[in-house]
Structure 1
Amino acid sequence: MSAPAELTARIDLWSSASFAEGHPVEQYRCLRENAPVYRHEEPDGPGFWAVTSHALVREVSMHPERFSSALGGILIPDLPPQELEFFRTMMLAMDPPRHSFYRRLVGGLFTPKRAAQWRERIAATVTAILDEAAEAERAAGSCDLVTEVAGKLPSYVIAELLGIPRADGERLYEQTEIMHSAPDAVIVERRSAAMVEIMQYAAGVRADKLANPAPDMATRLVTAEVDGQRLTEEEFISFFMLLLNAGGDTTRNLIGGAVAALLDRPAQLAWLRSDLPARIPAAAEELLRFQAPVIYMRRTAVADTALGDVPIAAGDKVVLYYGAANRDPAVFDRPEELVLDRTPNEHIAFGGGGPHFCLGAHFGRIEAVEMLGQLLGRFPGLALAGEPTWLASNFISGPTHVPVRLS
């Protein structure tokens, strides 16, 4: 299936420029209506199938035996063989049954019960971050919601989970931002250097936790066993990177994008604030749908197959666009509108189901509810102090800077 020629010229999901102000919703709409499985050109590559409907994104997600995460990895560009082999040690780039083993190995650390045990500590961390931001604003007259608030939360929480200094968590967060920048925005050598720095740090953490066990998640990851097997050093490093990348993206980009969206809609913000404790959980889910921090994940066709009425050849790249699926009118009433009390809300911001549903979703929800609840409740005068700017990335969607006045 292909889009009409006059529309094809408007489709560009490769360039970071298309995501300069968030998701390119008009391109998504065009593809859903004309070609929900669309053959997209790729600079210096064979091209890929862009999948934009909710049903088809879920179909691919639920069938790893047809659409592999391991064959080609999760990014659109084909990685060099050695780099791809390393990424295959990360759960995101595994298929069952190997993926199932690692999910069993670490999954017990991310259950709803485990996440709930962290709620008070996360709430206290949010309070401390907002205290720091308020102090910074008093000195400077404004603050940056992304770097001084939203970016600190997952950095601090992950640092506490792993038992590393908060300052190290912030530094590692900066390196993940470099890794996520699009190829046309940051040269490959700079992204590689950021990845190497994180890998070296992770190796040091593993060595320290083996020598000095502590009541933290890093120690549990080092010592966890299934059928007598533990994570190797390479596997620990991969999981460490996964925690930093996936653990930071959703919360940081959700909060930055959510607050910008709410401040642009004062009537909806006022409605939310009028009964904040009761309304914030559903509102956070809707903001996840609306923001969709992860733009895409790639799969690779295992054998000749079909998706909808489109034949897919073995080895073809199949790219799932979550922001497009989250605006599918076949599933969501008024999909382009922010409906804070939307029920039901079958968004797929944490993935389209199947084995790769986000392992840290329960932590991410608690972080989002705590931060949005405290931020909106504590600072009734919260207002933009400048125009938000967005991450130059075709993989992760979120603002890099949101200047605000807290009070």
Structure 2
Amino acid sequence: MTMPEDAISIGGVDLADPDTYRAGMPYGAFRELRARAPVAWHPYGDKPGFWALTAYDDVLAVSRDSQTWSSQTTGAFLDIPPPEESFQLALIMLTMDPPRHTALRSLVSHGFTPRHVARLRARTADMARDIVDRALRHGECDFVDDIAGALPSFVIAELLGIPRDDGRRLYALTEIMNTRLIGDVEQKQAQLQLFEYASALAADKRARPGDDIATDLLHAEVDGRRLTDLEFNLFFLLLINAGGDTTRNLVAAGTLALMEHPDQWARLAADPALMPTAVEEMLRWTSPVTMFARTATRDTEVGGVVLSAGERVMMFYPSANRDESHFTDPERFDVGRSPNHHLAFGGGGTHFCLGANLARVEATAIFTELLSRVREVEITGPVERVRSVQINGVRSMPVRLRPAAGPRFR
């Protein structure tokens, strides 16, 4: 068929180029696409192209229909894995389709239920207090590494039953994996180190079971059998990544948003009861994940566009979360926004973020400490964004913290 004007021509930017996002999320391009072509063909060099979904309703519909839209057929990421690696798509929960996805998810879901997360709440608050204590003592730090990245790495370490320091080291390895090109030597070495750690952890937990997710995974059965070593390693890799990315990006970019909107920081500081809506607004505003892919399992249509089986779509969450048809004045950052049915954790359905409750608890703990104990946050160097088509976040943000109780920024 003859392709209409493509997404690059309409929006003016290449949504498949990581350098596009280094300068900031292309909200102007998303607005243009939502207005003119919310389902737009996007070429991808000499690789298979995809349909860019930028409207809320289309992202929501695809997210909730795992029968029509597969994560496993060609993966959930921009690049399709080579044939020799495609077998991994059936082993990683993020790219796995039901019914196996449902069975595997149930193994660890109890570790992320509201009741279990509530038990972690006090512990998480203690860890957040320690992290802010240390940052205030030093005065200057990299906010991403020393505050936003510290808490989720500590919490996931506790959930997995490993030392906190190991959690920090593993977090550093995931950073290498997420900011290097697929196949890059450093990226492969980081993955190898993570696999080696997972293998050693599996041996330890088999010999000395604990009350943690790692033990649950190793001793439970799925479809009448236990996980293989490779399946456990891949699941471990997913937990380390997912356990850190969302919260780290939310806290770092959310803090930056509050600094850029001091009236909203002052409003939140004056009324801490707004914290739940503030966290939801930061999730909407920052959208820690940029996009995930799905592949049509049959001929279908999205937003009035007819697609054939095997065609890929890419769901752009930052665009959906600023869709004018669903959010009043979407370009306004409002810590009291309600209702706020954002899609930062996905649109529900099979792959709704397993750690959504935990991310909210962690963010609340950190922002409670910052609001009550930091008088001023001053940026002391360049704010560097993550160079990624997948992850939307801040990679580095050097700051100076001054203790006191007042929402004053510059």
Q: TM-score, normalised by structure 1?
A: 0.94
Q: Which residue of 1 aligns with 2:406?
A: none
1:132-164 CA deviation, whole Å, 9 max, x = no partner?
212222xxxx21110111111111111111111
Say which of 122, 133, 145 aligns to 1:147.
145
Question: Once the 2 structures are TM-superposed, how far is the Cα of residue 87 of structure 1 from its aligned partner?
Answer: 3.5
Is structure 2 residue 254 aligned with structure 1 residue 258? Answer: yes
After superposition, residues 349-360 of structure 1 pair within 5 angstroms as 349-360=344-355
Letter aligned with residue 72 of structure 2:
A
Question: d(CA) in 2 for partners of 1:29 and 1:182?
Answer: 29
Question: Once the 2 structures are TM-superposed, how far is the Cα of residue 189 of structure 1 from its aligned partner?
Answer: 2.6
Letter aligned with residue 375 of structure 1:
L
Q: Which residue of 1 aligns with 2:215?
A: 219
Question: Once the 2 structures are TM-superposed, how far is the Cα of residue 188 of structure 1 from its aligned partner?
Answer: 2.5
Q: Which residue of 1 aligns with 2:290?
A: 295
Q: What SS does the aligned partner of 1:41 have?
A: strand
After superposition, residues 126-145 of structure 1 pair within 5 angstroms as 126-137=128-139, 142-145=140-143
Is structure 2 residue 305 aligned with structure 1 residue 322? Answer: no
Q: Which residue of 2 aligns with 1:379?
A: 374
After superposition, residues 2-401 of structure 1 pair within 5 angstroms as 2-3=4-5, 7-8=9-10, 10-137=12-139, 142-181=140-179, 183=181, 188-225=184-221, 228-276=224-272, 278-401=273-396
Going from structure 1 to structure 2, the CA distance change for 1:356 and 1:6 (only over 3 Å counts) comes to closer
Question: d(CA) in 2 for partners of 1:193 and 1:303?
Answer: 38
Q: What SS does the aligned partner of 2:48 have?
A: coil
Question: d(CA) in 2 for partners of 1:7 and 1:196?
Answer: 40
Going from structure 1 to structure 2, the CA distance change for 1:54 and 1:228 (only over 3 Å counts) comes to same
- How many residues were matched structurally? 400
User: 1:4, 1:34 within 8 Å by CA — same for their partners in 2?
Assistant: no
Question: d(CA) in 2 for partners of 1:15 and 1:6?
Answer: 11
Question: Once the 2 structures are TM-superposed, how far is the Cα of residue 3 of structure 1 from its aligned partner?
Answer: 4.7
Letter aligned with residue 252 of structure 2:
G
Letter aligned with residue 400 of structure 2:
R
Moved more, 174-183 or 310-319: 174-183
Letter aligned with residue 303 of structure 1:
R
Letter aligned with residue 168 of structure 2:
E
Question: Once the 2 structures are TM-superposed, how far is the Cα of residue 178 of structure 1 from its aligned partner?
Answer: 1.8
Q: What SS does the aligned partner of 1:46 have?
A: strand
Question: d(CA) in 2 for partners of 1:169 and 1:21?
Answer: 30
User: 1:7, 1:30 within 8 Å by CA — same for their partners in 2?
Assistant: no
Letter aligned with residue 146 of structure 2:
E
User: 1:260, 1:388 within 8 Å by CA — same for their partners in 2?
Assistant: no
Question: Once the 2 structures are TM-superposed, how far is the Cα of residue 70 of structure 1 from its aligned partner?
Answer: 0.5
User: 2:180, 2:187 within 8 Å by CA — same for their partners in 1?
Assistant: no
Q: TM-score, normalised by structure 2?
A: 0.93
Going from structure 1 to structure 2, the CA distance change for 1:36 and 1:9 (only over 3 Å counts) comes to closer
Letter aligned with residue 199 of structure 1:
F
Q: What SS does the aligned partner of 1:95 have?
A: coil
Letter aligned with residue 164 of structure 2:
R
RMSD: 1.8
User: 1:178, 1:190 within 8 Å by CA — same for their partners in 2?
Assistant: yes
Say which of 369, 381, 400 aligns to 1:405.
400
Q: What SS does the aligned partner of 1:406 have?
A: strand
Q: What SS does the aligned partner of 2:66 have?
A: coil
Question: d(CA) in 1 for partners of 2:183 and 2:146?
Answer: 26
User: 2:281, 2:333 within 8 Å by CA — same for their partners in 1?
Assistant: yes
Q: What SS does the aligned partner of 2:294 have?
A: strand
Going from structure 1 to structure 2, the CA distance change for 1:281 and 1:265 (only over 3 Å counts) comes to same
Going from structure 1 to structure 2, the CA distance change for 1:152 and 1:5 (only over 3 Å counts) comes to closer
Percent of pairs with identical residues:
44
Moved more, 291-300 or 156-165: 156-165
Going from structure 1 to structure 2, the CA distance change for 1:217 and 1:5 (only over 3 Å counts) comes to closer
Question: d(CA) in 1 for partners of 2:200 and 2:367?
Answer: 34
Question: d(CA) in 1 for partners of 2:7 and 2:221?
Answer: 55
Q: What SS does the aligned partner of 1:55 have?
A: helix
Question: Once the 2 structures are TM-superposed, how far is the Cα of residue 96 of structure 1 from its aligned partner?
Answer: 1.1
Letter aligned with residue 168 of structure 1:
D
Moved more, 363-372 or 84-93: 84-93
User: 2:76, 2:293 within 8 Å by CA — same for their partners in 1?
Assistant: yes
Q: Where does the alignment leave 5 or more consecutive residues of structure 1 unmatched? A: none
User: 2:128, 2:365 within 8 Å by CA — same for their partners in 1?
Assistant: yes
Question: d(CA) in 2 for partners of 1:250 and 1:13?
Answer: 21
Letter aligned with residue 235 of structure 2:
F
Going from structure 1 to structure 2, the CA distance change for 1:37 and 1:214 (only over 3 Å counts) comes to same
